[in-house]
Amino acid sequence: MSVLAISNANAKKVAKGGSLITSNLLPKTAIHHHTKTPSDLLPAFKQALERNIKHLVIEGGDGTVRTVLSTLLNNHDESRVLPAISILPRGTTNQIARNLGVKKPADLTAIFKGSFREISMPLVKIKTKSLETRYGFLFSTGALPHVSRFAQDKINAKGVGGGTAVVGAVIKAVTSDKTSLMPPAKHRLKGKSGNGLYTIFNHKGPALGTIMTTLPTLMMGLDPFWGQEDAPLRVTWAEADSAKLGRTVAGLWAGRKINRSVDGYHSHNIEKLSLRTKAPATLDGDFLDISGQKLKITASRPVTFWLSK
């Protein structure tokens, strides 16, 4: 099997303990690149195209996975079949790998030998006029980025990191005045399905924030989506004056899938989202500068992931 392995030398656990991808682990014909910047990826993918690579292994955290897949999708002709992806989690945050990664290097050995299960799903695709198209799995504006910033500034500083810090920030958010920690901001939202023929929702005005993913669950099993439409992008947004935030979060964590629009929370599955806001935004945990820009958000082409059985 033709394999390309990419290890992010700056990923937290790789930088601290070195890569777990060794020459003994990989097939003899595999290519292994250690990258430090996104620009290092283009030569690796050029070599992969020349070798007709069928399997791409990514070692790193959420930021590494997002950067590698964005570079791959932006530089891989639509007519060419994408390589299958395996993720070895080695970053500060590894939420993507919780759904789509392997648990240990030995799992890769079984996959190389043909023993694996396969999941195919799209990524969230974000287009603007001025920036290169971005791809990721979890995009949010407003409330969640504010919570993430609080986690970084107040909780990470105390030595608590990863999902634990985010959970702590969420608890802080739902037990305090939401307007102080998560101030509403003007949002222009239009969600569509049916190849853009049907408008599912249209909002112009203050909103607490939005959250969007193609993943089946988020951190620690939290699944804040209850849309019923047959479409790939799962979107939830909250009105500025939404009520019962603590009860809503607790209900979602308990898995209660009920319509919460009466309290100002709306969830739908859509094909396209048009978005403009000056609220902070994050993609897989990293902040994006999208202030005032018009975003066109859709699902990417499906990407195949190989996981251990």
Task: Give the domain CATH number at 162.
Answer: 2.60.200.40
User: Quick one: which of 244, 227, 245, 185 has its CA closest to 209?
Assistant: 185
pLDDT, residue 55, reads 96
Rounded to two decimals, the pTM is 0.89
Task: Tell me, yes or no, whether 79 and 158 share the same domain.
Answer: no
User: Residue 186 domain-assigned?
Assistant: yes
Helices 162-174, 245-253: inter-axial angle, 10-degree rounding? 140
User: Residue 66 domain-assigned?
Assistant: yes
Task: Tell me, yes or no, whether 90 and 165 share the same domain.
Answer: no
User: Residue 165 domain-assigned?
Assistant: yes
Task: Tell me, yes or no, whether 227 and 177 share the same domain.
Answer: yes
Tell me how far apart the 2 most distant CA atoms of the chain are, in Å: 59
User: Residue 128 domain-assigned?
Assistant: no
User: Residue 72 domain-assigned?
Assistant: yes
Beta strands of the chain (E only): which ranges? 3-8, 31-35, 55-60, 84-89, 117-121, 124-127, 134-136, 138-142, 185-193, 198-213, 233-239, 265-270, 272-277, 281-283, 286-288, 295-299, 303-307
Task: Tell me, yes or no, whether 208 and 279 share the same domain.
Answer: yes
User: Residue 93 domain-assigned?
Assistant: yes
Task: Tell me, yes or no, whether 40 and 145 share the same domain.
Answer: no
pLDDT, residue 130, reads 77
Bridge-based pairing of strands 31-35 and 295-299 is: unpaired
Task: Tell me, yes or no, whether 277 and 188 share the same domain.
Answer: yes
SS3 content of the chain, % helix, strand, coil (to 5): 30, 35, 35
pLDDT, residue 172, reads 62
Task: Tell me, yes or no, whether 147 and 62 share the same domain.
Answer: no
Instruction: Please tell me the total count of domains within the chain.
Output: 2
Task: Tell me, yes or no, whether 260 and 170 share the same domain.
Answer: yes
Task: Tell me, yes or no, whether 97 and 191 share the same domain.
Answer: no
Neighbours of 244 (CB within 10 A): 15
From first to last of the 309 residues of the chain, give the pLDDT tens digit: 699 999 999 999 999 999 999 989 999 989 999 999 989 998 888 888 888 899 999 999 999 999 999 999 998 888 889 999 999 999 988 889 988 999 999 999 999 999 999 999 999 999 998 778 999 999 999 988 988 787 666 555 544 455 555 555 565 666 666 666 789 999 999 999 988 789 999 999 999 999 999 998 876 667 899 999 999 999 999 999 999 888 887 888 788 889 999 999 999 999 999 999 999 999 998 898 888 899 999 999 999 999 998
Task: Tell me, yes or no, whether 76 and 42 share the same domain.
Answer: yes
Task: Tell me, yes or no, whether 53 and 97 share the same domain.
Answer: yes
Handedness of CA 244, 281, 200, 299 (dihedral sign): negative
Query: 77 is in which domain, residue-wise?
Result: 3-122+303-307
User: Residue 129 domain-assigned?
Assistant: no
CA distances from 124 to 6, 67, 140, 205 (A): 22, 13, 11, 24
Q: Which single residue is written with the structure tokens 């009520």?
A: 243
DSSP 8-state code for residue 194: T
Task: Tell me, yes or no, whether 114 and 147 share the same domain.
Answer: no
User: Residue 288 domain-assigned?
Assistant: no
pLDDT, residue 279, reads 95
- Say which CATH number the domain at 37 has: 3.40.50.10330
pLDDT, residue 167, reads 58
